[in-house]
Chains A and B, each alone.
Chain A
Amino acid sequence: MSILKVEKLTKSFGGLTAVSNVNMYLDQGELVGLIGPNGAGKTTLFNLLTGVYKPTAGTVTLQRGGSDQVISGLKPSTICEMGLARTFQNIRLFKDLTVLDNVRIAMHKDVRYGLLSSFLHLPSFVREEKRLKEKSLELLRVMGLEDKKDELAKNLPYGEQRHLEIARALATNPVLLLLDEPAAGMNPAETARLTELIGWIRENYKVTILLIEHDMSLVMKVCERIFVLDYGMIIANGTPAEIQSDKRVIEAYLGEDVANA
């Protein structure tokens, strides 16, 4: 059963068409890769899915519980409330806040107390805050950041900042998780650990995952299916084995000359 359907999605910046007539789908529970050369339009596609950019044309439909809902054109916060969460390629943590606060903020949309309780710290506040903290700490434990909960996000090493991005996205309680180059800047050992973690998260949080990654060791290992984007267009879609032997993909990555040689 598919959970996300993308139809004829297009985004132009002036004369440049960064995403061009993209059709794709994701099935419930799948772990899918999105690859392509630099500037292919992968991040732009994520920005369209999450509402950061409005599409020039086309639609994105989220299918949940048998009902279809067009999400293209909605506000990012509304799209997040409907179950899409993401991480950012150029890390966008709340830098001057603690690790714990970064995660708690992402849980705000589900908080069950209002303004009055915020001012007066009524019992409903105390109860909810306790729940928020416990759930945040659990997510931090999963991502190996529990003992860093009181550090400022900006003081974490690079790899841990990427882990915190994932913890924060999970805190929104998503059905679909979009990861933009989660292993960028990590060494092979860190990447291997992250690869395992991503598989584990999919199993335990029952989320569908779409991930952008340049590190092929990660993509080929965990992804069941891969989309290849080149010049804003989907040029291939298949299993890792199919993608590795696809002539157009090899061309896109290595240039036509090499492919023909």
Chain B
Amino acid sequence: MKVKNLMEKPAFRKFGGIIVLYAVVQLLISVGILNDYYFATIVTIGINVILAVSLNLITGFTGQFSLGHAGFMSIGAYFCAIVTLRVPGIPGFLLGMLAGGAAAAVVGLLVGLPTLRLKGDYLAIATLGMAEIIRIVFQNIEITNGAAGLSNLPKFVNWSWLFLFVAGITVLIVNFLHSSIGRACISIREDEIAAESMGINITRYKVTSFIIGAFCAGIAGALYATYFPIIKPDTFGFAKSVDILVIVVFGGLGSITGSIVGAVVLGLISMLLASWTDLRMVIYAILLIVIMIFRPQGLMGSREFSLAMLKRAGEQLNGLFHKKSKKEEN
């Protein structure tokens, strides 16, 4: 009875699930069931959740096709690493996170403003080029140590930090999408001409959404650079951008829960097949083809997973079982 009362509280319904998730994982870590190897997978999944959710904001919700998300990630990673190699301790870590996100956002503004003003999909080409340029720059300048990359990076990310950033960013983006500015972004995806005729400054909100997405990708990169000891330009190449896009399309363009499920499912598959790299790519490809054939809109379509959805499904099942007895009553 008490548990039921608690579950009816709106705050619990909103955050209960993720708090339970935090506690369970924390418990599994402290009793030693989740070892470092598994935890590395969890970190990768968490980073991919941020990347996928933020790319979904740009592509799935605002309708702007971006192919350079890994570029923003690398900016975040390098800026953060450069800071944490110089400023010690938690202040360095937090400053690094901020620097990583901010630097990615600034580059997002520089790339987004000129291209998003144009009609047509120039953003895809511009972001593709941008990511490649960033990679080449990082390969050739001294402060990033060229192709060898930066190593011996101090490690800060534990489960609590990871959870804070992943859950925090996801909640902020979900909130944003449920605001008037978020709806304005979505209206651009739906119909640009109608949106601007209804007073929506479409360039402004395309750029807004793009910069928020870039900032989050920068944070994701910064998390990478504060967990894994080495970053190299090649880690953030075109293949990584495609990986992120695959998660978003797999989960469903326009579904935040889809992106989360996509990051988790594909992350687990990668882990299970880690020792068969070639097979991994084959299974990945087959999985995508199957999804494209049977659910071209992605796992979730543009819908969100919710308790109400489970409840409805449950009621339908219940209805099936009880149909017969009801008929008899009548």
Contact = CB atoms under 8 A, between A and B. Distances in A.
A156 to B, nearest CB: 15
Contact of B182 (A76, A118, A128, A172): A118
Given A77-B200, A77-B201, A93 B194 contact: yes
A97 B172 CA distance: 21
B330 interface: no
Contact of B190 (A50, A86, A94, A121): A94
B198 A105 contact: yes
A97 B302 CA distance: 11
Given A108-B183, A115-B181, A94 B196 contact: no
B190 A111 contact: no
Nearest to A84: B197
B140 interface: no
Interface residues of B, number: 26
Contacts of B191: 92-95
A101 interface: yes
A85 B190 CA distance: 18
A254 to B, nearest CB: 34
B83 to A, nearest CB: 24
A172 B199 CA distance: 7
Interface in B26-71: none
Given A96-B302, A104-B180, A80 B197 contact: yes
B94 to A, nearest CB: 19
Contact of A92 (B182, B193, B201, B302): B193
A93 B304 CA distance: 22
Contacts of A111: 180
Contact of B198 (A51, A80, A118): A80
A120 interface: yes
Contacts of B197: 50, 52, 76-77, 80, 85-86, 88
Interface string A52-90: 100000000000000000000001110011000110100
Contact of A97 (B179, B190, B201, B208): B190
B195 interface: yes
Interface string B85-125: 00000000000000000000000000000000000000000
5 contacts: A75-B196, A76-B196, A105-B180, A118-B182, A128-B180
Interface of B: 172, 175-176, 178-184, 186-187, 190-191, 193-202, 208, 302
Given A92-B191, A120-B172, A169-B198, 20 more contacts: A52-B197, A76-B197, A77-B200, A85-B197, A88-B197, A96-B190, A97-B183, A97-B186, A105-B183, A105-B187, A106-B198, A109-B200, A113-B179, A118-B175, A118-B179, A118-B180, A118-B181, A119-B176, A120-B175, A171-B198
